Amino acid sequence: MKIYLIRHTTPDIDANTTLYGQTDLDVVHSFHDEVATIKETIEDVRFNSVYYSPLKRCQKLAACLKSDMKVSEPRLKEISYGDWEMKKFAAIKTELSTWSKEFDTVAAPNGESLEMVQERLISFWNEINNYKEGEKIAIVAHGVVMRVFLAHFLEMPLKNIFRLQFNFGKVIQLSLNESGRIHLHL
């Protein structure tokens, strides 16, 4: 069984200056070019199932993938930064500095911690984790979501997830064997 973790394409925001998470952003004009690159990477495979975050940037990508079944899954939403959503990094610099020391266990004001994100993602994973020989599943999600999944699969501490760096449109392929063991294909 193959699982493809696919990060959405470039959102229509300056990600270097503004904190966003569950804000429902659209994608930039190069969307179709980015989708073409993703399809080349996955060899335009037909998936048995595509699970995707209901946020527009994932929903649009999921609509472009070939699949027998597509499921909008709220547990795949990006981390919520609560009161900090859409704030400029410079405006919340002090708060972010303090929070960055414990973001794995402490939530942003009215937002989520990484542990909270992990809880909802593991709940989702446990629901769909049924080995079927030859099945191909895509999970179209966000950067933090993909990092939390990988931390879980690699048994890595959540506080280290930002050591995993990848761009928009990144595809990470995993294999699940009959015994439930995950293998990462780099």
For residue 167, is pLDDT > 80? yes
What is the DSSP pairing of strand 87-88 with strand 182-185? unpaired
Q: Is 137 helix (H, G, I), strand (E, B) or coil?
A: strand
Both tokens of 145, joined, read 């979501």
pLDDT band at 186 (very low <50, low <70, confident <90, very high): low
Both tokens of 168, joined, read 């928009």
CATH code for the structural domain at 2-185: 3.40.50.1240
Q: Is 173 helix (H, G, I), strand (E, B) or coil?
A: strand
**DSSP label at residue 149:** H
pLDDT band at 113 (very low <50, low <70, confident <90, very high): very high
Taking CA atoms, 66 is separated from 52, 111, 142, in Å, by 13, 34, 20
Task: Write the single-letter amino acid at 71.
Answer: V
The pLDDT tens digits for 50-84 are: 999 999 999 999 999 999 999 999 999 999 999 99
- DSSP calls for 15-67: TTTEE-SSS---B-TTHHHHHHHHHHHTTTPEESEEEE-SSHHHHHHHHTSEE
Mean pLDDT of the 98-105 span = 92
The secondary structure of the chain in percent helix, strand, coil, rounded to multiples of 5, reads: 35, 20, 40
Positive or negative torsion for Cα 147, 148, 153, 156 = positive
Task: Write the single-letter amino acid at 33.
Answer: D
Q: What is the model's pLDDT at position 185?
A: 79
Q: Which of 29-38, 107-116, 170-179 has the lowest mean pLDDT?
A: 170-179
